[in-house]
Amino acid sequence: MRKIFNTIIILLLAAASVSAQSNSNSPYSRFGIGISELQGSGRNFALGGAGVALTAPFDINTVNPASYAVFKYPENSSFELLYKDVKKPNGRPFVFQVGARGLRTDIFDGDLAVSKYNTNLVSFTGKFQLQNYWAMSFGLQPVSSVGYSVSETDTVTSGDYSAVFNNKYSGAGGLNSLYWGNSFYFKGLSIGVNASYIFGPLSQTSTSVMTATEYAVVTTDLRRINVSDFSFRGGFQYTNDTIFGKFGFTIGAFAENKAQLNALQTRFVQRDIIQSGRALTDTLVNDTIAEGTVGFPLQYGVGLALHSKSLIVTADYTISDWSDVSMIGVGTGTFSKSERISAGIEYTPNAASKSFFKTVNYRVGAHTGTSNFSFGGNEITEQGMSVGLGIPVSKSLTFINLAFEVGKFGNPATNLIYENYYKVHLYFNTGAIWFQKRKFN
């Protein structure tokens, strides 16, 4: 119990660090809550983001909370040999997972192109088995990301008077989920639910520097929306290991409720006048300007996975309905229904082999769909492909999950900004057997 308590404390301390990071480079992140983050682990990202019907005892699949209670691999899988000790009643398995991501985004706007980079820790999660039929999970993971910076220069001339305006618009922050989940398993059927506390800042800053002949004026306008409220995600999975002979299957579904998250909008405006080497600072606004809500959409999805001794094939279809979501300080008409199809294949030659390369999980995936943004009737589309590895560490209960993802966000045919992105996901999963009864001779 002491280990569990210490792990939870670490997650809470990490929350402040993760929530302060900017995980996006996209100009589209200035709208709404920013760029929506896909839930899941390094394994999910390598499989195109699929996970509604995926189970694994030593992976934490937050796409579907029903997966937490399944501390066994399908009977047709050779992983049963590797993890046969886990099913013994002497002790309870625990899994801890930490994930990091590196992101490069190439942004194109007409003839203008720019590349941006960031690297961040993105999630801390854990799960443990309380009973053979009951497991619990908890953790911190991103919900959305805001991170952009745009600059422009303008010149105003009237007679002999001339002034240059250098304007910069930037944003940072995003929403995070501190969740607690429970899952229950009985004869192939598992159900689960996450209760999530969603919190975080959404910040937008505009800075205007006006340079004239004898003086300069710097105006800084900071708008910040602080969000804090609860949301719930529930799901189920059903597994049958024998219906297709050498193949078994798992079907799954999840849904997350539509919500209006409590939000507080503040504004700070400061003006600095610089003349003859002297600066005069004046605070124009420093106040809470509105209390309201930030809309969170109804989300749901279904998935199917087929699994054999060494192969898993899976696919998902998910929807996030942003079409009627309203947000404090944001006009309607920017958002639309988001749909996504994700699919992936995982191949493991022989998990119980003495050959290292035969125990590695080899993964490939792809996804396509529309985002939650729409401008002038043009939906912002997204497509991508991924590859990855699940690398066991000395046949212990530890895995390194690595995924590389490449994709595009937007379409140049619409004459809107579009992006090519490259992501590297690195997740470290470690498991242990706790509360074992020691035997002494």
In a domain, 371, yes or no: yes
Compute the CA torsion angle 343, 349, 351, 353 (nearest 10 deg): -170
In a domain, 110, yes or no: yes
In a domain, 386, yes or no: no
Handedness of CA 65, 66, 71, 77 (dihedral sign): negative
In percent, how much of the chain has pLDDT > 70?
86
Handedness of CA 401, 38, 310, 429 (dihedral sign): positive
The model carries a pTM of: 0.86
In a domain, 393, yes or no: no
Residue 46 has pLDDT above 90, yes or no: yes
- Look at strands 134-142 and 378-392 and give their pairing: unpaired
Decide: 109 and 73 in contact? Cβ < 8 Å.
Answer: no
Decide: 152 and 141 in contact? Cβ < 8 Å.
Answer: no
Q: Where are the beta strands (DSSP E) in 212-336?
A: 215-244, 247-256, 259-275, 278-296, 298-307, 311-321
In percent, how much of the chain has pLDDT > 90?
46
Decide: 135 and 194 in contact? Cβ < 8 Å.
Answer: no
Better pLDDT: 96 or 412? 96
In a domain, 395, yes or no: no
pLDDT in tens, 206-236: 998 888 777 888 999 999 999 999 999 999 9
CA 163/CA 161 separation, integer angstroms: 7
In a domain, 387, yes or no: no
CA 405/CA 422 separation, integer angstroms: 6
- Look at strands 215-244 and 247-256 and give their pairing: antiparallel
Provide Rg for the chain, Cα atoms.
Answer: 25
pLDDT at residue 439, rounded to an integer: 54
Query: Which SS3 state, helix, strand or coil, does residue 56 take?
Result: coil
Maximum CA extent, the chain: 100
Decide: 10 and 140 in contact? Cβ < 8 Å.
Answer: no
Query: Which SS3 state, helix, strand or coil, does residue 15 take?
Result: helix
- Look at strands 92-109 and 418-434 and give their pairing: antiparallel
Domain around 307: 2-377+400-434
In a domain, 306, yes or no: yes
Chain mean position to CA 389: 19
Decide: 93 and 37 in contact? Cβ < 8 Å.
Answer: no
The CATH number of the domain where 319 resides is what?
Answer: 2.40.160
Residue 83 has pLDDT above 80, yes or no: no
Buried b (16+ CB within 10 A) or exposed e, 363-381: bbbbbbbbbbbbbeeebbb
Phi, psi (degrees; rounded to nearest 5) at 45: -65, -35
| Total count of domains within the chain | 1
Chain mean position to CA 177: 10
Question: And the tokens for 380?
Answer: 């912002």
pLDDT in tens, 84-131: 544 444 567 788 999 999 999 999 988 888 898 989 889 999 998 888
Residue 54 has pLDDT above 50, yes or no: yes
Residue 332 has pLDDT above 60, yes or no: no
For residue 397, give every residue at least 6 positions away whose Cβ sits within 8 Å of its Cβ, in sequence order, or none: 58, 83, 86, 93, 95, 430, 431, 432, 433
Chain mean position to CA 5: 25
Residue 252 has pLDDT above 60, yes or no: yes
Residue 21 has pLDDT above 60, yes or no: no
In a domain, 211, yes or no: yes
Handedness of CA 74, 75, 81, 84 (dihedral sign): positive
Average pLDDT score, the chain = 84
Question: And the tokens for 339?
Answer: 């749909």
Helix (H) or strand (E) holding 385: strand 378-392
Query: Of the ranges 153-157, 172-176, 381-385, which one carries the lowest mean pLDDT score?
Result: 153-157
